[in-house]
């Protein structure tokens, strides 16, 4: 009894220390609940969706509504939630794990195809980390150094953070600083996109689009009956029997999820490339559109 009590006491002590600290020698930092939810939510939704076609349709239709409900009622009241960043990290790790553990052992794909997929995934992760690190670096130092390069007469005072910034800077209420040529605040990377990290962000979108769509194609052509489109390019043909085995069904669900995410990221990429071609930022685009809508409404009135 004394030994079991000692084990329980030690276990509770370890758990309490892990809950309150993000490192044994670092300062105390409590782990927020919103950052833990995606770690359990995404695998659970994938297993439920893999049960049948009806469950697949239900999960894929209800998940965006569930995320919107959580954001509208809980997450938007947090100053800087980690929910969406952890959703991104968990999704990438889960899809990569499913592909390497379940798809590669089927020996349906070539080694060079797997190598190209890994390169795209690693490239997307690296560019995403550089995007966030560049944004955090600017957030810590502000845009004072960047504005000084534009000349003394080109500065103005931000009414929120009371700093001298460039006229092209925009104050982000989430990052609590001014961002030069700010595009928007990306919740999925938990950072602002501006002139300091736009190139890394575009590269991240390019690698991620290729990785998600290409990985989805490799997975579907491995678990479904494929057909040859052109040369060695395969596309899935019949996926009616994927729900007979749970592991194959999970692979199919992961491929669908990867395809949807890849299409969404591709739309983001096209929009940012178009804005770069027009030489305006996303915030400026929204500002011009709101002014145009206001003038149109005024003329109609």
pLDDT of 147 strictly over 60 = no
The per-residue pLDDT for 272 is 92
pLDDT of 3 strictly over 60 = no
Least confident range from 136-145, 178-187, 262-271: namely 136-145
The per-residue pLDDT for 141 is 56
pLDDT of 1 strictly over 50 = no
Mean pLDDT confidence for 128-142? 76
Mean pLDDT confidence for 209-238? 85
> Over the chain, what is the mean pLDDT?
80
pLDDT of 20 strictly over 70 = no
216 or 19, which is more confident? 216
Share of residues in the chain with pLDDT > 70 (%):
74
pTM of this structure: 0.80
- Where residue 295 falls among pLDDT bands split at 50, 70, 90? low
252 or 17, which is more confident? 252
The per-residue pLDDT for 212 is 96
The per-residue pLDDT for 7 is 42
CB contact at 8 A, 191 and 197: yes
pLDDT of 165 strictly over 60 = yes
Q: What is the pLDDT of residues 229-274, one digit of tens each?
A: 776 677 788 888 899 999 999 999 999 999 999 999 999 999 999 9
């Amino acid at each position: 009894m004394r030994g079991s009590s000692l084990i329980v006491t030690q276990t509770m002590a370890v758990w309490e220390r892990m809950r309150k600290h993000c490192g044994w020698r670092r300062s105390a930092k409590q782990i927020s609940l919103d950052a833990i939810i995606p770690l359990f939510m995404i695998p659970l939704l994938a297993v439920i969706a893999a049960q049948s076609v009806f469950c697949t349709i239900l999960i894929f239709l209800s998940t965006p509504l569930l995320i919107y409900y959580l954001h509208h009622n809980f997450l938007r009241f947090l100053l800087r939630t980690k929910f969406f960043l952890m959703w991104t990290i968990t999704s990438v790790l889960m899809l990569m794990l499913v592909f390497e553990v379940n798809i590669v052992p089927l020996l349906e794909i070539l080694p060079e195809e797997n190598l190209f997929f890994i390169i795209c995934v690693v490239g997307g992760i690296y560019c995403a980390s550089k995007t966030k690190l560049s944004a955090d670096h600017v957030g810590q130092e502000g845009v004072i150094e960047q504005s000084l390069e534009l000349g003394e007469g080109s500065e103005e005072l931000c009414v929120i953070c009371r700093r001298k910034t460039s006229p092209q800077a925009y104050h982000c209420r989430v990052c609590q600083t001014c961002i030069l040529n700010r595009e928007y605040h990306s919740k999925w990377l938990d950072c602002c996109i501006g002139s300091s990290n736009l190139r890394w962000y575009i590269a991240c979108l390019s690698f991620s689009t290729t990785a998600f769509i290409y990985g989805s194609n490799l997975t579907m052509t491995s678990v479904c009956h494929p057909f040859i489109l052109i040369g060695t390019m395969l596309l899935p043909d019949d996926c009616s029997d994927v729900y007979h085995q749970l592991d194959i069904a999970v692979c199919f669900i992961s491929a669908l999820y990867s395809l949807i995410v890849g299409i969404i990221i591709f739309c983001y990429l096209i929009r940012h490339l178009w804005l770069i071609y027009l030489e305006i930022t996303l915030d400026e685009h929204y500002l011009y559109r709101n002014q145009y809508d206001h003038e149109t409404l005024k003329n109609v009135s």
